[in-house]
């Protein structure tokens, strides 16, 4: 908090003219908080797009590099690991530095990370569609041609190279996380410092709505890119003989990263045009957001410099604290903030809510593919056009309701509790909205007397003369309404006369494993449709839109309560603590936990050079129960934390809230923590911290 400077009434008018000229000079388009909001929204839109785009191509990366769900969970968590490494330091020291420029530097680093994410495709060999196990008939039909050892060596020769590409993907995501570190905490604090308190919730709501709208763009971009073959710029795709509907299709996953890298770079450039702080005229309009939190006694104290221990305090002390001294303060200030029960509970509740998003939403596209038999392109397109826009609208509505209803701290917590209950009920309904496994020969339905083993040739009588492999599958539906892992496992030896525009045979004949009155049966590409599954999917789509809309409404009220319970000088750091814990608890563990849980429901694994590769077939029922139950547990923990926050506020309502209509100030809030130093002492320390004034009894205060 700056000390007001008193002007000598006898000073000449020359100073006024210089000040007026300086004000006019600073009154550019970059000296407007609304322009900053637009620029920050553009950068956060690009950030949200690249993050969601990664999620949209996770299943493609699984097949491209033969990874397990737990492996792609590590890739998804790597972004947060990079962000976690610097979030506290950027938030604490960034509040003193040039915030817009730091945000711009972060955007450029993110652009570099996005470009590196696409690099593995250009450093590894071209993807081949199991050419060894395919025939000239266009599909892997039954054939007695065996694979030679030399051919197997060709398939496994690039195994080490693939592992290096996996590590490169992790490194690129870490770099993206490092670049994203200053964007949110410094952007939110910069906006909140320069707008009126009553408008803060609306501005922050718009900001976070844009962040959520980014994933919609990311999923749509993913659906577009996966329609193109992964190596379409190197080969003639018309000769492939497969379409995006084929399970062996690998889309151009790298294209979206290149586009996102360009968007991040140009969005970041705009940030370098904004000043350290807005001109005086602009700040005066938003001064209310900080002044309202100052107690009268402290406001008077900062209006005029007063001596402390016989020494006059000023804004530029002779002995400013060193960097090491400031670093020693960080743990104490962090402990001070976390000793606030409401601050801690709100942050932990936000972590649980984000954990649902990070875990459930990260694998939602994969869930739609497995549960409702959708293609990667269709799943991404549906998510980008339904659930994500609903979440965006929900965040905006949450901020708008806080503004229009003028909700107090208690009102905001009640709102968060209500929307949490409604969204949890939606998740419970997901337990009953899904499709069964269906009959899969050798996996869920009798297939002779044998059970398929990964990488081994089954010994069923009907395919004893075939050389079938399980390194990849291309399911077919038999005329007996049983799904087979491939045409080979159905015993099919030929194709029908019907041809499609893509030159793919639509009918498979001579299938010895499929019983028919007229001899061997027939099969068609794709899994057998399940009765009623289409109707269940439409209901699921409607419910998840409602769940996304309602659940997202709790985000803005939670952030508003958080920043209103700390002093303005610690606003950036408090947001840094929030984003630190969000990444430590909300973003990093959930993808790993959800991924490992999903892998545990796998029924049939591929074989990658003798090692277990990607899962080829899941138990849909167990997948649904485990996947949804994890989300329900996290939502339940969040509700308990919201309830604890409400209880802490309500217990001290008359003493700390009622007199100020529920708007807690820093001075009113800290006395509720515990018995200890007086409220003014604690608040005074917090405000003096930004001005580098160290209390002699710091240890006793903290």
| Mean pLDDT of the 277-282 span | 58
Q: How far apart are CA 562 and CA 557, in angstroms?
A: 9
Q: Which domain holds residue 113?
A: 27-293+341-435+535-564+567-648
**Does residue 525 lie within any of the structural domains?**
no
Rounded-to-integer distance, Cα 523 and Cα 467, Å: 18
Coarse DSSP helix, strand, coil percentages of the chain, rounded to the nearest 5 percent: 65, 5, 30
pLDDT, average across residues 200-228: 79
- pLDDT score, position 277: 76
Q: What is the mean pLDDT of residues 493-507?
A: 55
Domain assignment present for residue 232? The answer is yes
pLDDT computed for residue 691 by the predictor = 34
Residue 9 phi, psi dihedral angles, 5° rounding:
-60, -20
The mean of the pLDDT values for the chain is: 71
Residue 200 has pLDDT above 80, yes or no: no
Mean pLDDT, residues 227-245 taken together: 76
pLDDT in tens, 627-655: 999 999 999 999 999 888 888 777 765 44
Considering only residues 336 and 678, tell me which one the structure prediction assigns the higher pLDDT: 336
pLDDT digits (tens, 9 = 90+) for 581-594: 887 888 888 888 88
Q: Strands across the sheet with 483-484, in order? A: 483-484, 476-478, 521-525, 508-511, 494-495
pLDDT grade for 513, boundaries at 50, 70 and 90: confident
Q: Point out the least confidently predicted range of 38-47, 222-231, 351-360, 600-609.
A: 600-609
Query: Is 517 domain-assigned?
Result: no
From CA 256, how far away is CA 118, in angstroms rounded? 8
Q: What pLDDT, in 10s, does the model give residues 663-683?
A: 434 333 333 333 333 333 333
pLDDT exceeds 60 at position 555: yes
Query: Is 225:59 a contact under the CB 8 Å cutoff?
Result: no
Mean pLDDT lowest among 192-206, 278-292, 299-313, 438-452 = 299-313
> What kind and span of H or E run contains 604?
strand 602-608
Concatenated DSSP letters of 276-334: SS--HHHHHHHTHHHHTTS-HHHHHHHHS--EETTEE--SS-SSPPPHHHHHHHHHHHH
| Residue 383 pLDDT > 60 | yes
pLDDT at 629: 92
Crossing angle between the packed helical segments 376-385 and 33-56, to the nearest 10 degrees = 150
Q: Which of 263-277, 447-461, 479-493: highest mean pLDDT?
A: 263-277
If one counts the domains in the chain, the total is: 1
Position 497 pLDDT exceeds 60: no
In three-state secondary structure terms, 552 is helix
DSSP 3-state assignment of 568?
helix
Q: Is residue 158 part of a domain?
A: yes
Q: What are the φ and ψ backbone dihedral angles of 477, each rounded to 5 degrees? A: -105, 120
What backbone phi and psi angles, to 5 degrees, belong to 345?
-65, -40
- pLDDT above 70: residue 276: yes
Establish if 242 belongs to a structural domain.
yes
Task: For residue 85, give both structure tokens.
Answer: 């490494």
Asked if pLDDT for residue 453 goes beyond 60, the answer is no
Is 441 a domain residue? no
Eight-state DSSP code of residue 529: P
What does the pLDDT read at residue 617? Answer: 81
How are beta strands 494-495 and 521-525 bridged, if at all? unpaired
What is the mean predicted confidence (pLDDT) over 520-542?
83
Tell whether 678 is covered by a domain: no
Tokens 């030929």 sit at which residue?
Answer: 494
Whether residue 454 is contained in a domain is answered as: no
pLDDT tens track for 649-668: 777 654 434 444 434 343 33
Q: Of 117-126, 226-235, 373-382, 513-522, which gets the smallest average pLDDT? A: 513-522
We report the CATH number of the domain holding residue 541 as 1.20.1250.20
Task: Compute the distance between CA of residue 357 and CA of residue 354 in angstroms, rounded to an integer.
Answer: 5
How much is the pLDDT for 112?
92
pLDDT of 535: 85
């Amino acid at each position: 908090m700056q000390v007001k400077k008193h002007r000598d009434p006898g000073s000449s008018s020359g100073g006024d003219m210089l000040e007026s000229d300086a004000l006019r000079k600073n009154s550019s388009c970059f000296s407007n908080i609304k322009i900053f909001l637009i620029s920050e929204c553009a950068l956060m839109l690009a950030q949200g797009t690249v993050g969601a785009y990664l999620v949209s191509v996770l299943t493609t990366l699984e097949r491209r590099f033969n990874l397990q769900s737990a492996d792609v969970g590590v890739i998804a968590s790597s972004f947060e690991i990079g962000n976690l490494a610097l979030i506290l330091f950027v938030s604490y020291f960034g509040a003193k530095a040039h915030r817009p420029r730091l945000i711009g530097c972060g955007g450029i680093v993110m652009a570099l990370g996005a470009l590196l994410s696409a690099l593995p495709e250009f450093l590894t060999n071209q993807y081949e569609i199991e050419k060894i196990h395919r025939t000239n008939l266009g599909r892997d039909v039954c054939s007695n041609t065996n694979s030679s050892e030399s051919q197997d060596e060709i398939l496994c020769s690039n195994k080490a190279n693939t592992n290096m590409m996996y590590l490169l993907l992790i490194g690129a995501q870490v770099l993206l996380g490092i670049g994203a570190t200053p964007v949110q905490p410094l952007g939110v604090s910069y906006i909140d410092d320069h707008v009126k308190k009553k408008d803060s919730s609306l501005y922050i709501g718009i900001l976070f709505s844009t962040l959520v709208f980014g994933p919609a763009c990311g999923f749509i971009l993913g659906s577009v890119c996966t329609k193109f073959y992964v190596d379409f710029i190197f080969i003639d795709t018309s000769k492939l003989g497969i379409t995006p509907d084929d399970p062996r299709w690998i889309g151009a996953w790298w294209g979206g990263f290149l586009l996102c890298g360009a968007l991040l770079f140009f969005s970041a450039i705009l940030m370098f045009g904004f000043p350290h702080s807005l001109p005086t005229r602009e700040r005066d309009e938003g001064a209310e957001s900080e002044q309202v939190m100052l107690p009268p006694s402290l406001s008077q104290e900062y209006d005029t410099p007063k001596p402390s221990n016989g020494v006059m305090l000023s804004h530029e002390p002779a002995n400013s604290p060193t960097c090491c001294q400031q670093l020693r303060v960080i743990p104490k200030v962090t402990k001070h903030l976390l000793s606030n029960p409401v601050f801690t509970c709100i942050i932990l509740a936000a972590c649980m809510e984000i954990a649902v998003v990070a875990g459930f939403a990260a694998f939602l596209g994969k869930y739609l593919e497995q549960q409702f038999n959708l293609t990667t392109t269709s799943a991404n397109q549906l998510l980008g056009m339904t659930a994500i826009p609903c979440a965006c609208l929900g965040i905006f509505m949450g901020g708008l309701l806080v503004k229009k209803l003028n909700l107090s701290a208690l009102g905001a917590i009640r709102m968060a509790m209500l929307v949490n209950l409604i969204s949890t009920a939606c998740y419970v309904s997901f337990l009953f909205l899904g499709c069964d496994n269906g009959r899969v020969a050798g996996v869920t339905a009798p297939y002779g007397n044998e059970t398929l083993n990964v990488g081994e040739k089954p010994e069923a009588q009907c395919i004893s003369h075939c050389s079938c492999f399980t390194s990849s599958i291309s399911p077919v539906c038999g005329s007996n309404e049983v799904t087979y892992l491939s045409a080979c496992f159905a015993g099919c030896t030929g194709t029908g006369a019907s041809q499609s525009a893509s030159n793919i045979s639509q009918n498979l004949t001579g299938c010895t494993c499929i019983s028919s009155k007229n001899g061997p049966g027939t099969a068609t590409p794709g899994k057998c449709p399940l009765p009623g599954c289409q109707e269940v999917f439409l209901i699921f789509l409607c419910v998840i839109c409602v769940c996304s809309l309602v659940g997202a409404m709790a985000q803005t009220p939670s952030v508003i309560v958080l920043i209103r319970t700390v002093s303005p000088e610690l606003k950036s750091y408090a947001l840094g603590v929030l984003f630190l814990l969000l990444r430590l608890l909300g973003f990093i563990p959930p993808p790993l936990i959800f991924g490992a849980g999903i892998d545990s429901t796998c029924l049939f694994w591929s074989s990658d050079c003798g090692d277990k590769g990607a899962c080829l077939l899941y138990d849909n029922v167990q997948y649904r129960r485990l996947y949804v139950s994890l989300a329900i547990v996290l939502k339940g923990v969040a509700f308990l934390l919201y309830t604890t926050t409400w209880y802490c506020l309500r217990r001290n309502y008359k003493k700390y809230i009622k007199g100020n209509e529920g708007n807690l100030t820093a001075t009113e809030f800290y006395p509720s923590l515990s018995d200890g130093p007086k409220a003014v002492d604690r608040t005074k320390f917090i405000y003096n911290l930004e001005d580098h004034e160290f209390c002699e009894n710091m240890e006793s205060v903290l």
